[in-house]
Amino acid sequence: MGMGTSTFLIRWINFLTMLFAIAVIIFGVWMSTHHDDCRRSLTLPVLGLGAFIFAMFIVTNNGSGHSVAGLRYKEYELKDYSSWFRKELNNTENWKRLKSCLVKKHDCNNLSKKYKTLKQYKSAKLTPIEAGCCQPPSECGYPVVNATYYDLSFHPVSSNKDCKLYKNSQAVKCYNCDSCKAGVAQYMKTEWRIVATFNMVLFIVLSIVYFVGCCARRNAVRRRSKI
């Protein structure tokens, strides 16, 4: 699938999801207008779910990575993500906590073991965190020695501050780079979308079960009242 097709599909999925969130909110408002206890009892959960999905896709709408010539994996830039993401990731305490949880140093250190040659490395499909945290941005122009080592004697061709932050040291790498924060943002965005999708499916299933149960209870009450 080409990048243009992929971007087109992502935009449509985002658009349809936002429409679904709006529909859920409208559905919750509609249920609040009924005197039926079954419907009214679901009003707040439905409105809450609709608001959650809507907010989630507003926050995660931006940012999808950039293709780089000669590389299979994408690179990520923090500026592409929502202002909320940037604010949270640029907060020193937040970043320290997220980095300790999500950025595992052994993942970067194992890259040279997984990819023995430069050809294998450049054709690898790295995760957003591996692409952003384990190496300098390709725009720096550092010659690649292997998957975990770059020739830093080369003067970077870019003014990107990440070029100077990157070190070959296993303890440093690009863990404090904006590219690393962008990789974490992409990871979180993907995970949150999975959660939102799961919640949508769960909401639909539980709504069906709940309404069937309500109808069954109402019919049972009617039968008893006729006896």
Over residues 192-211, the pLDDT tens digits come to 777 767 766 777 776 666 66
Given pLDDT bands bounded at 50, 70 and 90, which one contains residue 101? confident
Phi-psi domain of 173 (left: phi exceeds 0; alpha: psi -120 through 50; beta: other): left
Given pLDDT bands bounded at 50, 70 and 90, which one contains residue 5? very low
50-91 tens-digit pLDDT: 676 666 675 555 556 788 888 888 899 998 888 888 898 999
pLDDT at res. 131: 93
Whether the predicted pLDDT of 105 surpasses 70: yes
pLDDT at res. 133: 95
On average, the pLDDT of the chain sits at 79
pLDDT at res. 174: 95
Given pLDDT bands bounded at 50, 70 and 90, which one contains residue 4? very low
Average pLDDT estimate for 11-36:
66
- Alpha carbon 152 to its chain's center: 32
115-163 tens-digit pLDDT: 988 889 988 889 999 999 999 999 999 999 988 899 999 988 899 999 9
Q: Which of 81, 16, 8 is nearest to 54 (CA)?
A: 16
Average pLDDT estimate for 167-180:
94
Average pLDDT estimate for 221-225:
67
- Alpha carbon 42 to its chain's center: 29
pLDDT at res. 66: 82
Q: What percent of the chain has pLDDT over 70?
A: 61
- Alpha carbon 189 to its chain's center: 1
Whether the predicted pLDDT of 34 surpasses 80: no
- Residue 89: how many CB atoms within 10 A of its CB? 20
Given pLDDT bands bounded at 50, 70 and 90, which one contains residue 3? very low
Average pLDDT estimate for 37-46:
61
Name residues whose C-beta falls within 8 Å of residue 134's C-beta, 6 or more positions apart in sequence.
107, 108, 111, 126, 148, 173, 174
Whether the predicted pLDDT of 15 surpasses 70: no
Whether the predicted pLDDT of 6 surpasses 60: no
Alpha carbons within 13 A on the beta-carbon side of 163: 16
